[in-house]
Structure formats: C-alpha cells, structure tokens
Amino acid sequence: MIDPAKVPKVAFNERDTIRLISTAFIDEPALVPLVDDDAELAFLEHLEGLTSSRLNTGIPLPPGVSALELLSERDGYGWSFINAAFCYTRSTGNRFNGPERGAWYASWGEDAAQTSQAEVSWHLTRELEATGVFDNVTSYRELIAGFIVDMHDLREFAGDAVFSPDPTQSYPKGQSLAQTLLQSGAHGVIYPSARFTGGTCLAAFRPRAVQNVRQGQTWKFSWNRKRVPDIELWS
C-alpha cells in the first residue's frame, strides 16, 4: 500500500496532454467561423461570457463537488467539458476517484495518443463484454489541455496494487489514496498506464488545474466481432 506521505510532489508543466471523449458530446464552438486562431477564439468567448446567461446552471452536483469549484464560460473554451469530468461519475468510480467526485483523466508524453486510445479501448471493450456483442463503431475526439501545477508523482510505485489491471483490486486502493491526497490539498497525480506499457497518465483532482483546452484529432474505434478494436484516424 502506498503511503501518501511518501509520494513525491513535482512541478508538472505540460502543454499538450490528451483526453479522448466521444464526438457525440462535442459541438464546434459557435464563434469558430469568426476567428483565425485559438487566441482570438478565447478573447471572443471571454467577451461573450461577460453577458451570457448560459453559465454552469443545471449540471448535477455529486456529493463531493462544490458549485464554487466549477468553471463558467468566463473561463474560456472547454469549461463545460471540465465540469462534466467532475460531475458525471460512474457508480464504481475510477482508478483515482470514487462515485462522489470525478476527475480529469488524460495521457501525456511521447506516447500520449496511443496511451489514451488503449485506455478508452479497454473501458469500452469491457462494456461490450457485458452485452456479449462486439459490434460497435464509436468516434472519439482529442481534448488537448495544458497544466502548470504541482502533481504527486506515482511513477516510482508502478508495481503497487493500485496499478493492477483488475479494477476490483486496484480501484478501492487508488480511490483511498486519492481521497487522502485531495484532502491534503493535492492537485492530482501522474502515474504509469495500466493499459499501455510505457504510457503515462494523469488524474487532475481540481477543475481549475485544467487549462487551455483545445480540440485535436478524431479517431474511429471499430469493434468488428472481436475484442480488440481497429483504430483509424478520422480527421
């Protein structure tokens, strides 16, 4: 079991971490046709947000999330995706969050794209196993985000049970560790992927740790009556 007090804290400065979400949940920003680059888009979104009544109302708040933590349109593009990561949770939680509070999971480093694809593939394949039918096509868009924050570094504990590929073994331990770190003020953890050898992931514990969200490439995952999907670049 990892002792939270012995987990080193490091400066984490990464511009291009990758999170994959289904394209069913992504709409192109309405202001995109009016701008030439990301800087202009952020500026117009800020102006629009000053008078918009479409703030962060109506989103369900799980017990572990305060409305004061959530972002609004004033925080720029991607605010709703960030909020959703913390407010929409699985009943079993994930590796570093329980059902009462979500987290922003992403991959980073040289193999970030392959790592995020492997993580998503594993989770959706697991859902298809419940139906016994491996016949599915889903497209995912990259959400690229930056971080300039201290993170707790779990990479030296790669052999711990927290990183077991079996969720029944690893999730309770990881959730307990994350809760202790969160209560001590931690912004999140960086850790070795359990789904892609050599890959590195992160779990951000606080919405405002996630910055400069942008859209990246789109990938199509196709399960053609087999457990391992074919993955191809969509655009």
In a domain, 110, yes or no: yes
Confidence band for 58, pLDDT divided at 50, 70 and 90: low
Asked if the structure places residue 64 within a domain, the reply is yes
Average pLDDT of span 94-99: 97
79 contacts: CB under 8 Å, gap ≥ 6: 56, 71, 72, 73, 213
Q: What is the mean pLDDT of residues 222-230?
A: 94
pTM of the model: 0.87
pLDDT higher than 90, residue 9? yes
What is the per-residue pLDDT for 1? 85
Report yes or no on 62 lying in a domain: yes
Question: Has residue 216 been placed in a domain?
Answer: yes
Using alpha carbons, list the distances in angstroms from residue 29 to 38, 44, 119, 156, 173: 11, 11, 27, 40, 39
Is residue 1 in a domain?
A: no
Classify residue 2: in a domain, yes or no.
no
**Is 31 within the bounds of a domain?**
yes
CB 213 within 8 A of CB 125: no
Q: How many domains does the chain have?
A: 1
Mean pLDDT of 46-66: 66
Query: pLDDT band at 35, cuts 50/70/90?
Result: low
For residue 87, is it within any domain?
A: yes
Instruction: Decide if 76 contacts 46 (C-beta within 8 A).
Output: yes
| Model pLDDT, residue 53 | 42
How many helices and strands in the chain, by DSSP H and E? 4, 7
What six digits make up the tokens of 66? 């305060």
What is the domain extent for residue 200?
Answer: 8-233
What was the pLDDT predicted at 235?
A: 65
d(CA 233, CA 235): 6
Q: Please tell me which residue, 226 or 35, carries the higher pLDDT value.
A: 226
